[in-house]
Structure 1
């Protein structure tokens, strides 16, 4: 049996993967960045840092604040509501830090990303992706999972733009299974 992944990276954009670290936001929220070391592991697993960093409490708090900032902005977009000014200001401030610069290694022909402050560069990368998404033409494709207790944000890139769930394997399967059980129950009562 395959071990469950600690983090989900299936929202369609890096900036939406960060808010996905709060699962079941609409019912009993589960912050997967809460365990010790989880914020550093998320940064590594998101390929924002090469090595597992030792994060200070202030850095972990900054990552969580960016997560909630992006959540509030993207959630407002899904509801066609006005963007919260304070959240926009915070996102812009975080995005102002220089992102890591790509450098080509001549010996291995691989790319290394160089930053004077890898943590701030990682946050800037996430914030810049969020600005690109929220201010660009794809903003209308940001959706919240239709499963009532989930509400994970995702980018719907399906041709018809009719995707309903964050994942067919998770919430889509639960929704379809629940609908099937309801139909069976209703058919039992009509017999």
Structure 2
């Protein structure tokens, strides 16, 4: 399968929240069509098969994603949860989630877009009420707004991912140093 989406945050709910990129600047929306939403659910490993989505599924997913991002930000900053965002995520989490089935060939997970979204919302509830909250960090790239779980030794990780942000920042810093260094002949 061709993977168009990036999964570097260490948790499906955080990767889902990161489907709107560069929130402080260019704002790149990943979930622009029902097909892109379906692709995210498949590529995330949440489902093996999903019924085709509609525009309403995209609007609902974006609303849940934005509420989830607000709650992640609230928790990361040690603030009280925003009540409206809490209501949106909890309402989605109350719906029936994805239910894996056992087949003669192994595990198979088929779902509707609503079930997939309910599963992401349920995962968000578990994350934001669980032991990983102190490990939530925002990427050190000023253009990136991904939040990830930092399980590195000493919590020294600076980037959401080396390929997505770390290499870009390191290369830019190297070029800046080379440009600033006096030429030696």
TM > 0.5:
yes
Take 2:150 and 2:134, find their aligned partners in 1: how far apart are those partners?
9
List structure 1 runs of 4+ shifted beyond 3 angstroms. Answer: none
Which aligned pairs between 1:22-171 and structure 2 lie closer than 5 A? 22-35=20-33, 37-105=35-103, 107-108=104-105, 110-113=106-109, 118-171=112-165
Task: Provide, for residues 82-133 of structure 1, a one-character-per-residue CA deviation record: whole Å limited to 9, x for no partner.
Answer: 211111111111111122333322x32x112366xx2222111101111111
Task: Provide, for residues 110-159 of structure 1, a one-character-per-residue CA deviation record: whole Å limited to 9, x for no partner.
Answer: 112366xx222211110111111111110111111111111211111112
How far did 1:5 drift? 4.0
How far did 1:178 drift? 2.1
How far did 1:35 drift? 4.3
Take 1:51 and 1:137, find their aligned partners in 2: how far apart are those partners?
31
Whether the aligned pair in 2 keeps the contact of 1:143 and 1:156 (CA below 8 Å) is yes
CA separation of 1:134 and 1:36: change in aligned 2, threshold 3 A: closer
* Length-normalised TM-score, structure 1: 0.86
Take 1:168 and 1:144, find their aligned partners in 2: how far apart are those partners?
14
How far did 1:181 drift? 2.4
Q: Which residue of the other structure, out of 154, 166, 169, is the alignment partner of 1:172?
A: 166
> How many residues are aligned here?
184
Whether the aligned pair in 2 keeps the contact of 1:25 and 1:152 (CA below 8 Å) is no
Q: Provide the residue aligned with 2:7 in structure 1.
A: 9
How far did 1:36 drift? 5.7
Task: Provide, for residues 40-69 of structure 1, a one-character-per-residue CA deviation record: whole Å limited to 9, x for no partner.
Answer: 221222233333532122111111111111
Gaps of 5+ in 2: none
